[in-house]
Amino acid sequence: DSGSFGGFTSGGRIAIIPIYGEITTSTDSGSIGYLDVIESLKQAEADASIDAILLDIDSPGGSVVSTKQIVAFIQTDINKPIVSWIGEVGASGGYYLAASTDYILADSDSITGSIGVISEQYNVQGLFEKLGIEVVDINAGKFKTIGSPFREMTEEEKEILQELVDQANGHFKQDIIKFRKEKGLDEEKFALVADGRILTGQQAFDAGLIDATATRQQAILKASQLAGFEGVPETETISQEHFSLSDLFFSAGKNFGQGFSSGVNPTENESEGIQAK
């Protein structure tokens, strides 16, 4: 038995991939880029020592196209067991990612669902009028300025944008049904909650959107079980690190603060110096 060593049962090795923040085209503060997620998935799939993958999700969703790229990669390029766990939030695109995996677990009090698509358009015409600012549009094409924040949107323009949103939303729902149908998703129950509303993890379980309510550690154990192991697994977090000039200044400032604090009070533990919170 490859999972047994000297009388102890191994739980294998699980790669944990964090999906924290809004899903976008590039990773930034408060967001995660889809290319980084795909790169982490590639590394986990290629590493022979990794037996299964866990997506650790805390995301309200994000770009439709960016989310679809990750979903497509999971569906076509990941052959190892892949599990998702929703902690605080796994809504909209965050839930979409979870639905594309083999098994979904969530904290019973997490926020899930929000199955829908939104396009927000702003209108600052009134503000500009108060400030005495006039915007002059020179364009070619009847709908070239559709969505302009400098004027009221016409009913015809609203219909065009509504069609775009409805198409994306239709694809979203179709994929969820495809991913979850073999796991017993009731389409009538699904229709009742697939209207953009948010659900708790427990409500999502009752509606068939997830497979179980559980803690993060239980989700890790489930990933191990799907890989054919019984013990407690080892884990490795895989993420793509990005270094910027702001990171350099933050690090330098933190180190200076810790050094200054230590110099003033040498008996204080250096790790408890001035910290940015």
Q: How far apart are CA 56 and CA 89, in angstroms?
A: 10
Long-range CB contact pairs, 96-99, < 8 A, 24+: 96/61, 96/67, 96/71, 96/172, 96/175, 96/176, 97/19, 97/23, 97/55, 97/57, 97/59, 97/67, 97/70, 97/71, 98/55, 98/57, 98/210, 99/175, 99/176, 99/179, 99/180, 99/209
Q: Is 119 a catalytic residue?
A: no
Q: Characterize the bridge pairing of strands 198-200 and 111-113.
A: antiparallel
Q: Of the residues 92, 100, 224, 239, which is catalytic?
A: 92
Q: Of the residues 26, 119, 144, 189, which is catalytic?
A: 144
Q: Is 144 a catalytic residue?
A: yes
**β-sheet bridge partners, residue 33:** 24
Return the active site residues. 92, 144
